[in-house]
Chain A
Amino acid sequence: EVQLLESGGGLVQPGGSLRLSCAASGFTFSSYAMSWVRQAPGKGLEWVSTISGSDGSAYFADSVKGRFTISRDNSKNTLFLQMNSLRAEDTAVYYCAKLVGHYYLDPFDYWGQGTLVTVSS
């Protein structure tokens, strides 16, 4: 059974940093692209970043480019999102999502339960 468990969310001041983790199990983690998708309170879904499963290439939404970094540790089946220079508009539930294949343009077939990031002074 595929499981994705996010952690690392919390309250952070504007300009601060936070590192999210997503522990994966139930599939061959290194073979699949992985993404972060966020949802601001009461709002819709917004893609944040994807890392491919083949060569580790990373892709970002313009809204987070230069501030967020995505990485993966295939030996520990864990996905990360390093978030720097956080802004109030980054406040959201952050979901870890698995893609159906190794390619960065694929559907999301499994999602974690999400972790809440609140940016506020």
Chain B
Amino acid sequence: DIQMTQSPSSLSASVGDRVTITCQASQDISNYLNWYQQKPGKAPKLLIYDALNVETGVPSRFSGSGSGTDFTFTVSSLQPEDIATYYCQQYDNLPLTFGGGTKVEIK
């Protein structure tokens, strides 16, 4: 199975801050990497697919980069509505696996 190691597990930042989350795959997954946002009590929402493509309707402050084993998710200017847990997920091979999540809070 491909292990997805996400860090940090939680972070606290101020409104307007740049926030970066990393995700490392245990083997090369090319660009088969997605990022999801899950707000408390809600279902996950796809933000980024294929490592760097922003899903339609997602604000441009969200971005992704990376390939192979190392990936980065960035919020360029954190907003109050971005309070959520963010998950990376690989779809290079079964079983599909998710990172452990990063809980983002406002300082």
Q: Which residues of A contact B (CB under 8 A)?
A: 35, 37, 44-47, 50, 59, 61-62, 95, 100, 104-114
Chain B hits for A37, CB < 8 A: 44
Contact B87 A45 (CB under 8 A): yes
Pick from B17-25, B63-71, B90-98 the stretch touching chain A. B90-98
Q: How large is the interface on B (under 10, 10 to 19, 20 to 34, 35 or more residues)?
A: 20 to 34
Query: What is the CB-to-nearest-CB distance from B84 to chain A, in angstroms, rounded to a whole number?
Result: 13
Query: What is the CB-to-nearest-CB distance from A79 to chain B, in angstroms, rounded to a whole number?
Result: 15
**How far is A47 from B93 in the complex, measured between Cα atoms in Å?**
12
Query: What is the CB-to-nearest-CB distance from B69 to chain A, in angstroms, rounded to a whole number?
Result: 18
Query: What is the CB-to-nearest-CB distance from B1 to chain A, in angstroms, rounded to a whole number?
Result: 8
Query: What is the CB-to-nearest-CB distance from A47 to chain B, in angstroms, rounded to a whole number?
Result: 4
Enumerate B70-95 residues with CB–CB distance to A below 8 Å. Answer: 87, 89, 91-95
Q: Which residues of B contact A (CB under 8 A)?
A: 32, 34, 36, 38, 42-46, 49-50, 55, 87, 89, 91-101
**How far is A50 from B95 in the complex, measured between Cα atoms in Å?**
10
Contacts beyond the supplied A45-B98, A100-B49: 9 A-B pairs with Cβ under 8 Å: A35-B96, A45-B38, A45-B44, A47-B98, A50-B96, A61-B95, A105-B91, A105-B94, A107-B89
Contact A95 B43 (CB under 8 A): yes
**How far is A6 from B38 in the complex, measured between Cα atoms in Å?**
18
**How far is A46 from B92 in the complex, measured between Cα atoms in Å?**
16
Contact B87 A44 (CB under 8 A): yes
Given the known A-B contacts A107-B49, A112-B43, are A45 and B89 also in contact in the complex, defined by CB atoms under 8 Å? yes
Given the known A-B contacts A105-B92, A105-B94, are A111 and B101 also in contact in the complex, defined by CB atoms under 8 Å? no
Contact B44 A111 (CB under 8 A): yes
